[in-house]
Amino acid sequence: MATNGNSSSPGMGEIIQLNVGGTRFSTSRQTLMWIPDSFFSSLLSGRISTLRDETGAIFIDRDPTAFAPILNFLRTKELDLRILRHEAEFYGITPLVRRLLLCEELDRSSCGSVLFHGYLPPPGKDLKLSDRCVEKTPVVSRLSLCSFVLCVCEGPVVDPRKVLIIAGHHNWIVAAYAHFVICYRIKESSGWQQVFSSPYLDWTIERIALNAKVVGGLHGDKDKMVAAASESSIILWSIQDGGSGSEIGVFNLGVPVDDLFFIGNQLVATSHTGKVGVWNAVTQHWQVQDVVPITSCDTAGSFLLLGCNNGSIYYIDMQKFPLRMKDNDLLVTELYHDPSNDAITALSVYLTPKTSVSGNWIEIAYGTSSGAVRVIVQHPETVGSGPQLFQTFTVHRSPVTKIMLSEKHLVSVCADNNHVRTWTVTRFRGMISTQPGSTPLASFKILSLEETESHGSYCSGNDIGPFGERDDQQVFIQKVIPITNKLFVRLSSTGKRICEVQSVDGTTISCFMVRECEGSSRMGSRPRRYLFTGHGNGSIQMWDLTTAMDTANKGEEKKKEGGPTEEELLQLLDQCDLSTSRCATPNISPAPSVLHHVRLRESSLRLEATSYLTIMCLILSLQIHIYT
């Protein structure tokens, strides 16, 4: 039955019934006619005669399976080649699979996008597993079970190949693997070069710290220092200018180390239980101090600030240590006490341009366990009375987990699905001003299913501290799912997406860090910001965030609103086992990615190890049964 082209045109919302090769489809007239001069628009406009079945549906003698993606394209204006490829793989149609793979590779390159800056290959170290596990389980070792399975008995499985942590200082970076660390240095002429590789360690590394500018060290000012921690133990190496290294010593905090970093020449280790350990490069002395249980920390110049669960903020002046050391006391001084006695769960210090050595010009933002965000200030006119409460925001209903105060913005993150609130900060002659004061800027969320370990509300090393000189370039690095090769870079003040990066070799991103490096000594050159990503195969990849920010600011590329879109999120979740994810905190730059015990386990590796261990246990029980 032919359709009369001169008849009155039905509404575009009319439902059209189609019979394609015996399979029925229903869709709207508008869906079929949005492409002019197509087969469907000609069919429905009457330019092509139609054949109808017994129900009145338009009959098209074509393959119904091939028609389904065509109809989806007409509905969504998008075509997912991955779905077609999966179907082709299922049916074993190799020529079609190859064609579709070629289409997918058009936008992919092993050399990466314009943001890809460099690639450091996996190290050539011996990736043997520790013999210590074998010593601890002699009965099992007599049955010739491999040490990998024995490590599963003892604790988490750690892949010795993957990069666990990346940290940086000036033009140096250090990468931690399960049992050793490697340091790299950048030079303008030769690029990144490996300069130090540590000896093999029997224990698994959980924290690292790097100091690329040591003053007054054992071998002069050209010394570098790198430290690694596992549980309560800390090992410290000195690296000479030529790259040779020597062990300085092994120290013990007595409790698990949660934070490890340098303040000047001092190596500092903290624990949420209320311990602070300090090693001084001049005196070669390790000292442990008991304090109130720690729930947050930050550094400002030579000061270490501790937020504690009793509502107090304490400080230790490292510049005067050890000269003022008295009775083995680090001289921990209370700086401020929260008016509501809430635990200080996040801490950020901003030193104004006029801050003197005495620290009289100082501003501190902190978050509490009740969700309050407060700003306290100490200016010259307040000296003698301590910091004064400047502003309070009660916009969060969950504990504040991250906070950052900088020249232009105040950013806070709470535990409720990573809810972020931001404010603009008004200043007069460098000091924070009440007129018009801090005004609300943005509210958004950062979805992250990454597994992390936390001690109550204590955030270990993931603070949003000021990074670089340009306050408008603070960023969040968003890793949506635990096992992925993709990261989203978002502006911390508004949540807008700057770019996304995807590993050039398809390997899983296991950790990341943002650093500024002075790659050129030429006059007028400015430091460039890079994103470093560690990978499951042991490689390190680098991404140029300075170019990404410049491109985003110029509007040269169409920017997406924020984090992953619904379509991108669904694609990511297709790769993720949601039953293994328990995380509620985002990964935020510029802090080095900090390793936690539960993050050492990849879902697939854990499943494989558990299955293998079960089989071995059955074999062991059979052996025992036979012997008895």
Do 339 and 416 reside in the same domain of the chain? Answer: yes
Q: How far is CA 275 from CA 344, 363, 586, in A?
A: 16, 25, 26
Would you say residue 392 has pLDDT above 80?
yes
The mean-pLDDT minimum among 112-121, 366-375, 441-450, 573-582 falls in 573-582
The mean-pLDDT minimum among 82-86, 280-284, 329-333 falls in 82-86
> Is 284 contained in some domain?
no
Q: Whole-angstrom distance between the N-terminal and C-terminal Cα of the chain? A: 86
Rounded CA separation 228/179 (Å): 10
CA angle 84, 86, 90 (to 5 degrees): 115
> Is 167 contained in some domain?
no
Do 429 and 492 reside in the same domain of the chain? Answer: no
Do 324 and 443 reside in the same domain of the chain? Answer: yes
Rounded CA separation 355/383 (Å): 13
Which helix (H) or strand (E) segment holds residue 186: the answer is strand 181-187
- As a whole number, the mean pLDDT across the chain is 75
Residue 97 sits in a domain whose CATH number is 3.30.710.10
Do 472 and 495 reside in the same domain of the chain? Answer: yes
* Structural domain span for residue 526: 115-122+456-569
CA atoms in the 13 A half-sphere facing the CB of 542 = 21
Query: Looking at residue 620, what is its pLDDT?
Result: 52
Give tens-digit pLDDT for 35-56: 777 788 888 888 888 889 999 9
Would you say residue 256 has pLDDT above 50?
yes
Residue 388 sits in a domain whose CATH number is 2.130.10.10
For range 299-311, the mean pLDDT:
90
Of 377, 374, 334, nearest to 352 by C-alpha is: 377
Query: Looking at residue 466, what is its pLDDT?
Result: 32
Please state, for a pLDDT cut of 70, what percent of the chain lies above it.
68
* DSSP annotation of 415: S
Rounded CA separation 122/505 (Å): 12
For range 282-296, the mean pLDDT:
88
Q: Which residues of 394-406 are buried (b: 16+ CB within 10 A; e: fewer)?
A: eebebbbbbbbbb
Confidence of residue 159 (pLDDT cuts 50, 70, 90): confident
Do 330 and 468 reside in the same domain of the chain? Answer: no
* DSSP annotation of 230: E
The mean-pLDDT minimum among 435-439, 443-447, 546-550, 553-557 falls in 553-557
Last residue of a domain, one of 533, 554, 569: 569
What is the signed CA dihedral for 617, 623, 626, 628, rounded to 10 degrees? -80
E-strand ranges in 46-164 read 51-52, 58-60, 116-120
> Is 202 contained in some domain?
no
Rounded CA separation 409/426 (Å): 9
Query: Looking at residue 357, what is its pLDDT?
Result: 46
Would you say residue 447 has pLDDT above 60?
yes
Please state, for a pLDDT cut of 90, what percent of the chain lies above it.
30
> Is 450 contained in some domain?
yes
Amino acid making up residue 141:
S
Reported residue count of the chain is 628
> How many domains in the chain?
3
Give tens-digit pLDDT for 219-245: 455 578 999 999 999 999 988 777 778
Do 391 and 437 reside in the same domain of the chain? Answer: yes
Last residue of a domain, one of 569, 585, 604: 569
Do 498 and 446 reside in the same domain of the chain? Answer: no
Do 387 and 462 reside in the same domain of the chain? Answer: no
> Is 539 contained in some domain?
yes
Mapping DSSP to helix (H, G, I), strand (E, B) and coil, where does residue 604 land? helix
Instruction: Determine contact, residues 163/599, Cβ cutoff 8 Å.
Output: no
Amino acid making up residue 442:
A
Rounded CA separation 607/535 (Å): 20
Would you say residue 89 has pLDDT above 80?
no
Residue with the bigger pLDDT between 85 and 24: it is: 24
For range 474-478, the mean pLDDT:
88
Query: Looking at residue 621, what is its pLDDT?
Result: 52
> Is 90 contained in some domain?
yes
Tokens 């590394």 correspond to what residue?
205
Confidence of residue 294 (pLDDT cuts 50, 70, 90): very high
Query: Looking at residue 270, what is its pLDDT?
Result: 94
Do 524 and 423 reside in the same domain of the chain? Answer: no
> Is 249 contained in some domain?
no
Instruction: Determine contact, residues 277/287, Cβ cutoff 8 Å.
Output: yes
Would you say residue 288 has pLDDT above 70?
yes
Would you say residue 139 has pLDDT above 90?
no
Per the rule left: phi > 0, alpha: psi between -120 and 50, beta: everything else, 187 is beta
Most confident of 212-226, 333-347, 548-562, 581-595: 333-347
Do 421 and 351 reside in the same domain of the chain? Answer: yes
Confidence of residue 343 (pLDDT cuts 50, 70, 90): very high
Cis (ω within 30 of 0) for the bond into 322? yes
* DSSP annotation of 566: H
Last residue of a domain, one of 569, 604, 622: 569
Do 323 and 433 reside in the same domain of the chain? Answer: yes
DSSP-H helix ranges across 131-254: 132-136, 138-142, 147-154
What the block records as the tokens of 586 is: 């985002």
Do 431 and 541 reside in the same domain of the chain? Answer: no
Would you say residue 387 has pLDDT above 90?
no
> Is 493 contained in some domain?
yes
